[in-house]
Amino acid sequence: MEGLILGHRQVQVAPTLQADDAKVQKKVAKKLAREQVPLRVKPQKKVGLFSHLHQYEKDVSLTQEISLGLTGNIHPVIIKLGVQYAKGIICGSNARCVALLMGLIKAISDYSTPIQKELSRDLEAKIKPNISFLTQCRPLSVSMGNAIKFVKLNITRIPPDMPEDQAKRSLIVKIKNFIRERVYLAGEAISKTYARTKINNGDVILTYACSSLIVKILKDAHDSGKKFSVIVVDSRPKLEGRECLRRLVNHGICCSYVLISAISYVIKEVSKVFLGAHALLANGYVKSRVGSSMIAMMANAYNVPVLVCCETYKFSDRVQTDSFVSNELGDPDDLVPISRHSERDTLAEWRDTPSLHLLNLVYDVTPPDFISMVVTEVGMIPCTSVPVVLRVQNPETC
């Protein structure tokens, strides 16, 4: 179904959550064909419970059928960016969003308005295929979705009589200000104004995977003279915590490293938990790397405060209470290398086993009951205050 009836209101379901609906996917294929964007090949094997989600596999090429040059709808910078997203070279909500905006700045700089066309209408139409291509490479993060809304809103605000060069300069300045204010300065405010005050001498801080914001907070706290230690918890298949560990140790911070299976042994020593976030949802749930909810649940069981650090541009008006309806499926082949010492991977030919399916979830959601506080650039707030922040920071006022 393309929509669900709730009371007297019809709620539209995004095509990205209807991968198992042939009718919807046929419409998506036609739309991509009009935009000259290649359609991702359907995966061979998926877990039935998650058949409504798209599964992204690294060995599938999306660039073979793309035409470059004057006839291409997709900017070369966006093609490069899509490949980097698909291969995991650029990962993390902040890094992906900033890279997207920088790519759009380049595309806008190279854009020229055709004769007898209005810039605001034509530019938005030119951007759509680029966004569609990026979505085929990897689903857009909430931060990227909010940034795209910001860009499109400011494109529609361009006066029809404004000269093209001036309009492009004005739009690029607004995008750069968004990056500076909503990403970088927001991170500075979170780190140096609020989060650092919650770290005391002698604390044992636990963090999970690798969040650029959490790493910055811990570095700034260490530079301010605070004496504390950090426990970095990690999990397969990405093992992002190794990068977090490397950055913190190189900065002179005393660290320990454990896998998530050992969380019950180390949680007794922890005084505070600091977690990053992919998004904060309107019902107060926190969407983050898979495993974050387990960390928060264990901390709650041992009465350890959990602080989620998140910029407000990652706030979403969507509601989610589980990790099944809306999620991202990573490449199942990432789970195959189960041992570094074996000459041949045991699961190398897993697709040939009919009864075997591999599931690689990227995110999970954590209920607000497990979160003590959310640290943002506008202050330290409870999870339930997300709708208030969204109402104050309405896109119309950006």
The answer to whether the beta carbons of residues 139 and 82 sit under 8 Å apart is: no
pLDDT at 25: 82
- Beta-carbon contacts of 111 under 8 Å, excluding residues fewer than 6 positions away, are 123, 126, 168
Give dist(CA 244, CA 233) in Å, integer: 10
Q: Is the pLDDT of residue 373 over 90?
A: yes
Q: Which two tokens stand for residue 348?
A: 């190398």
The answer to whether the beta carbons of residues 241 and 174 sit under 8 Å apart is: no
Encode pLDDT of 112-121 as tens digits: 988 888 888 8
Encode pLDDT of 32-46 as tens digits: 888 888 877 777 788
Domain 199-336+350-393, CATH homologous superfamily name and number: Translation initiation factor eif-2b; domain 2 (3.40.50.10470)
Compute the half-sphere exposure of residue 384: CA atoms within 13 Å on the CB side of its CA.
3
Give dist(CA 170, CA 163) in Å, integer: 11
For domain 18-40+57-187, the CATH architecture is Up-down Bundle (1.20)
pLDDT at 338: 63
pLDDT at 52: 87
Which is higher by pLDDT, 173 or 51? 173
pLDDT at 12: 63
Encode pLDDT of 278-327 as tens digits: 999 999 999 999 999 999 999 999 999 999 999 999 999 999 999 999 99
Which is higher by pLDDT, 177 or 44? 177
DSSP summary character for residue 66: P
Give dist(CA 301, CA 212) in Å, integer: 27
List the chain domain ranges.
18-40+57-187, 199-336+350-393
Highest mean pLDDT out of 87-91, 159-163, 372-376: 372-376
Give dist(CA 7, CA 5) in Å, integer: 6
Encode pLDDT of 340-367 as tens digits: 655 566 777 888 888 888 899 999 999 9
Name the band, by pLDDT with cuts 50, 70 and 90, for residue 1.
very low
Q: What's the mean pLDDT in 197-224?
A: 96
Q: What DSSP string describes 201-266?
A: TT-EEEEES--HHHHHHHHHHHHTT---EEEEEE-TTT-THHHHHHHHHHTT-EEEEEEGGGHHHH
pLDDT at 62: 64
pLDDT at 6: 44
- Share of residues in the chain with pLDDT > 70 (%): 89
pLDDT at 85: 93
pLDDT at 20: 74
Q: Is the pLDDT of residue 65 over 60?
A: no
- For residues 117, 120, 124 and 125, what is the CA-based torsion angle, rounded to 10 degrees? -20
pLDDT at 78: 94
Give dist(CA 32, CA 223) in Å, integer: 50
- The lowest-confidence range among 2-6, 143-147, 256-260 is 2-6
Q: Chain centroid to CA 222: how far?
A: 27
Entry pTM = 0.90
Q: Which two tokens stand for residue 298?
A: 């264990």
Q: Is the pLDDT of residue 128 over 80?
A: yes
Q: Is the pLDDT of residue 369 over 50?
A: yes
Q: In what order do the strands lie in the sheet with 204-208?
A: 254-259, 229-234, 204-208, 272-275, 306-309, 373-376, 379-381
- Beta-carbon contacts of 321 under 8 Å, excluding residues fewer than 6 positions away, are 283, 285, 365, 367
DSSP-assigned beta bridge partners for residue 365: 287
Whether the link from the prior residue into 382 is cis, omega within 30° of 0, is no
How far lies 44's CA from each of 6, 65, 95, 331, 353, in Å? 34, 21, 31, 12, 12
pLDDT at 80: 93
What's the chain's Rg over C-alpha atoms?
22
pLDDT at 290: 96
Q: Is the pLDDT of residue 170 over 90?
A: yes
